[in-house]
């Protein structure tokens, strides 16, 4: 029987860890990459997500910690049309995002990078369409009080109170949480991780 390769999660996201655990996967190590996540001028959401996932995987693959391990990195982007919404750092960011998303459909894109080395990286991207209901001032104010949107792409967490805002979702729910499980497991299995 083949020995399972070591598996490193290149993310400190508790949501990604929880999703992997839900699929019965516990990383051998968790190493958060330190990269510049600023979008480039005129960079589109899809290209941005793919670039960040690749850069995160490369940053970890280039360290002595890896030693032939499989490295999984991901980046989730919330986009309204061609506009990349920020990872909310403040109540103001959350409020601006919710006002923009109110009554509209938006896209959640997660790029996944699985690396064996800095030069051997497999990429996938998954897009889910999410439609929000029209949000009232009181709903936005209540959500701000929860602080749930801080640190989240697009200023909301679908696995929390914000699920009450969702009229419709078309695609992978786990993608919106932060890691599309079907595609992630497919990449891992193809790389020999059982």
Domain CATH code at residue 177: 3.90.950.10
Q: What is the DSSP code (8-state) at residue 161?
A: G
Pick the catalytic residue from 67, 75, 91, 93: 75
Which residue range forms the structural domain that includes residue 155?
A: 7-190
* pLDDT value of residue 68: 76
pTM of the model: 0.92
- C-alpha dist (Å) from residue 32 to 8, 90, 111, 162, 170: 10, 22, 16, 26, 30
Average of per-residue pLDDT across 156-184: 96
Q: Give the pLDDT of residue 2.
A: 61
Confidence of residue 5 (pLDDT cuts 50, 70, 90): confident
Q: How many CB atoms lie within 10 A of CB 184?
A: 24
Report if residue 1 sits inside a domain.
no
More confident residue, 62 or 135: 135
Residue given tokens 């969702």 in the structure block:
166
The total number of structural domains in the chain stands at: 1
Active site residue 75: yes
| pLDDT on residue 194 | 79
Give me the mean pLDDT over the 122-130 stretch: 98
Mean pLDDT confidence for 145-172: 96
Contacts of 131 (CB under 8 A, 6+ apart): 104, 105, 106, 166, 167, 168, 169
Cβ atoms of residues 165 and 134 within 8 Å: no
- For the ranges 1-10, 14-23, 32-41, 114-123, the lowest mean pLDDT is seen at 1-10
Please check whether residue 65 lies inside any domain of the structure: yes
Give domain status of residue 26, yes or no.
yes
In a domain, residue 2? The reply is no
């Amino acid at each position: 029987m083949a020995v399972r390769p070591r598996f490193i999660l290149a993310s400190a996201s508790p949501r990604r860890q929880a999703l992997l655990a839900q699929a019965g996967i516990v990383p051998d190590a968790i190493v958060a990459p330190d990269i510049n996540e600023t979008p480039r001028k005129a960079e589109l959401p899809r290209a941005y997500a793919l670039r960040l996932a690749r850069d995160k995987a490369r940053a970890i693959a280039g360290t002595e910690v890896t030693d032939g391990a499989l490295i999984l990195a991901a980046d989730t982007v919330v986009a309204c049309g061609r506009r990349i919404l920020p990872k909310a750092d403040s109540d103001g960011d959350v409020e601006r995002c919710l006002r923009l998303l109110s009554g509209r459909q938006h896209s959640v894109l997660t790029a996944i990078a699985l690396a064996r080395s800095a030069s051997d990286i497999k990429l996938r991207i998954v897009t889910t369409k999410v439609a929000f209901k029209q949000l009232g001032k009181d709903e936005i104010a209540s959500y701000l009080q929860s602080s749930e949107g801080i640190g989240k792409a697009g200023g909301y967490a679908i696995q929390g109170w914000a699920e009450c805002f969702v009229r419709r979702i078309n695609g992978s729910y786990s993608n919106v949480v932060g890691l599309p499980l079907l595609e992630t497991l497919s990449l891992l299995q193809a790389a020999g991780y059982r």
